[in-house]
Amino acid sequence: MSQPLDPASWNIETSTARLPALTMGDELCHLAEKHSNIVVLTADLASSNGTAAFRERFPDRFINTGIAEQNMMSIAAGLAASGFIPYVSTFASFASLLCAEQLRTDMSYTKLPVRILAHHAGISMGFYGTSHHAVEDIAITRAMANMTVVSAADGNAIRGLMRATFDVPGPVYIRIGRGAEKPVYETVPAFAPGRFVTMREGAAATIIATGFGVKAAVDAAEILAVDGIELRVLDAAYIKPLDTQAVLSAARETGAILTVEEHNPHGGLGGAVAETLAEAGVGVRFRRHALPDDYVLVAPPSHLYRHYGLTGDGVVLAVKALIG
């Protein structure tokens, strides 16, 4: 019998409470208590991205620019040039595509310490359509000089990456889901800059996943372990700089690599891993498990994840296709 509809899910403000993995608002408050130079900007999305908590706690350090994302980015760059640490928050599709020029010219070129909280990344805005899907953002941002690119697997990872990147001297693109992601980390991880996190050890093959794909990779490894197939699973929380040492070690020690990401197959994590392998001259069985090189269908996110194989079962099929 299906569950009854919950009216709380019909409203942006009340539905936010149902998204336990959208932790960035609370984490911003935590960081702001220690660092008085933190300011937060959003483009009329405080209710849907959790920054309303910061607005209530630190109203004089919160700026709502309205629906003017490009202006917001330039304002943040100006604040950074004046000694502040600005955190700008908007949908990932707007942050990376609409504001690409501001990210490149106002922040990356100038090496200014702006933190871009790019939430609702990938296809997590499924039913809003192509204009709100962010499936090219990794490719765009990792091509910008001086830009650090990280991707959070769950709510604790958001907190960990925000803490780990606070002192980065240049801009940081923090890729975040919509807050409904299932837990991967029991506690807040202490991320080392530019390093992957080993989620499982194994020798049959390696799955290198990022963001939403990490949970799918872990689930797949647990399914295959029942049949005696032990996989190494790595969380590529840092996409730029990439943990090239972990990539090459995985290739040499397991002989097969599958990348998993909620992104177009070109220019994302899979491309970064492939570049590393090719430049090192390391031969290995390799496969990218990503979204197709096409515009994604319009449907609820849960339906899209199943359709495109971004689930444990979907990753199992990809692993079997890789190693036979």
Report residue 225's pLDDT band, with 50, 70 and 90 as the boundaries.
very high
Q: What are phi and psi of 208, to 5 degrees?
A: -110, 115
Report residue 4's pLDDT band, with 50, 70 and 90 as the boundaries.
low
Q: Which of 105, 55, 63 is nearest to 84 (CA)?
A: 63
Report residue 112's pLDDT band, with 50, 70 and 90 as the boundaries.
very high
Overall average pLDDT of the 1-11 stretch: 51
**pTM greater than the 0.85 cutoff:** yes
User: What pLDDT was estimated at residue 12?
Assistant: 52
User: What pLDDT was estimated at residue 1?
Assistant: 38
- Whether the per-residue pLDDT at 2 is higher than 60: the answer is no
- Whether the per-residue pLDDT at 10 is higher than 70: the answer is no
Q: Which of 21-25, 57-61, 295-299 has the lowest mean pLDDT?
A: 21-25
Which residue's entry shows tokens 């197939």? 229
Instruction: State the chain's maximal CA–CA distance in angstroms.
Output: 59
Q: Do domains 7-175 and 197-323 have the same CATH topology?
A: yes
Tens digits of residue pLDDT in 160-204: 999 999 999 999 999 999 878 899 999 999 999 999 999 999 999
User: What pLDDT was estimated at residue 9?
Assistant: 52
- Whether the per-residue pLDDT at 5 is higher than 80: the answer is no
Report residue 321's pLDDT band, with 50, 70 and 90 as the boundaries.
very high
CA distance 69 to 238: 25
| Residue 114 · residue 86 · CB < 8 Å | yes
- Strands 62-64 and 197-200 turn out to be unpaired
- Whether the per-residue pLDDT at 212 is higher than 50: the answer is yes
* Residue 17 DSSP class: G
Q: Give kind and range of the element (H or E) at residue 312.
A: helix 312-323
Beta bridge partners of 39: 86
Domain limits of the chain?
7-175, 197-323
Residues 6 or more apart whose Cβ sits within 8 Å of residue 143: 267
pLDDT, the chain, mean? 94
Tens digits of residue pLDDT in 11-58: 555 555 656 667 999 999 999 999 999 999 999 999 889 999 999 999
Q: Is 284 or 14 the better-scoring residue by pLDDT?
A: 284
Choosing among 3.30.420.40, 3.40.50.970, 3.40.50.2000, 1.10.3720.10, the CATH entry for 7-175 is 3.40.50.970
With a pLDDT cut of 70, the percent of the chain lying above it is: 94
User: What pLDDT was estimated at residue 324?
Assistant: 85
Tens digits of residue pLDDT in 226-275: 999 999 999 999 999 999 999 999 999 999 999 999 999 999 999 999 99
With a pLDDT cut of 90, the percent of the chain lying above it is: 88
Fold of 197-323: Rossmann fold (3.40.50)
